[in-house]
Amino acid sequence: MKTYAFELSGEHESLPRCEALALVEAFSTGFSEVEFLEQCLIVEAEGLDVETIGRRLAMTHRIIEVLAVCPANLEALAQAASCLQLPPKKYLIRARRIRDAAPPADAVEHEVGRILFRRGYRADLSHPELLLRAIITSGKIVLGIEVARTDRSSFEARRPHLKPFFHPGVLMPRMARALVNLTQVRAGEVLLDPFAGTCGILIEACLIGVNGVGIEVQPSLVRGALCNLQGLDCSLLLGDAKRLPLKESSIDAAVLDTPYGRSAKIMAASKELLLKESLEELYRVIRPGRRMAIVADRSIEEMIEEVGFVLLQKHTDRVHRSLTRQIFICRR
């Protein structure tokens, strides 16, 4: 097994770690969690498809193959660097300090560079062949070779207000992608969004090769969302989440951002009834053993379990003063 460290974003307390673990489980032949430090997850994994995971992750900055973990002081770092076995390539070392962790990033970079220079390795700031990364966090320094990097700027380019059709109250692209990843759906499989809205979730699924199917009950939203889906291989249907036009056990995963807030319109006697009947339909169409991610504005654990799903995770996401989202990861 190889050891990998995920340099996590700090945008949420629990989702970055769980997103990374979900993909490690889905795209390796075996793994174990070694340690969870602040904004740094260390795992051991066999046959990990780092390239695929790197393209998919939303809440991770980088993945590094770990070469050493040492106490966060320059003496211990010098000892660790003196034992590194690196290929004879020109390198670049960059360090990131998490919050107020010590020592400073520039001091770590200088110390690693000093030791490697003495050992005959040469740095190249312009055209390095090897990217070394140090993460300074929780009293430790995690040192390794960068093997994947997330293109977080692409998510910024897909912010809701920059799309052809906009409607308030939608998920941001990074959150939508993270939810897709938490279902462990693979390229070529089918993911359903029964409350498709402007199709932000479907877009994130399609961009990683997943076959997205959306259901939306409002004709105006369907017409607008189709503008957002131009150039993507997605299916969007006018329909009712309480009566899905799908066969039993025909869906590999589902992500649903349930209606809430002032801009939400529902076609049911109550939100409670809408959600219960929609969950019953989802239980019918999702394959046994597969996952679903639900976003709601309140706790719905009992309803989820009454329908028959197994609740795996619960996360809280404070959006603003009057809205706190509850995120549930379930298994059929």
Q: Going by DSSP bridges, is the β-strand pair 211-216/234-238 parallel, antiparallel, or unpaired?
A: parallel
Residue positions counted in the chain: 332
For tokens 């036009």, name the residue. Answer: 245
Q: Which amino acid is at 215?
A: I
The sign of the dihedral angle between the CA atoms of 209, 210, 215, 221 is negative
- Of 259, 291, 276, which is closest to residue 179 (Cα–Cα)? 291
Is 156-331 a domain of CATH 3.40.50.150?
yes
> What class does CATH assign to 2-149?
alpha beta
Question: Along the 332 residues of the chain, how does pLDDT read in single tens digits?
Answer: 999 999 999 999 999 999 999 999 999 999 999 999 999 999 999 999 999 999 999 999 999 999 999 999 999 999 999 999 999 999 999 999 999 999 999 999 999 999 999 999 999 999 999 999 999 999 999 999 999 999 989 999 999 999 999 988 899 999 999 999 999 999 999 999 999 999 999 999 999 999 999 999 999 999 999 999 999 989 999 999 999 999 999 999 999 999 875 444 666 668 899 999 999 999 999 999 999 999 999 999 999 999 999 999 999 999 888 889 999 999 99
SS3 state of residue 123: strand
Q: Where are the domains of the chain?
A: 2-149, 156-331
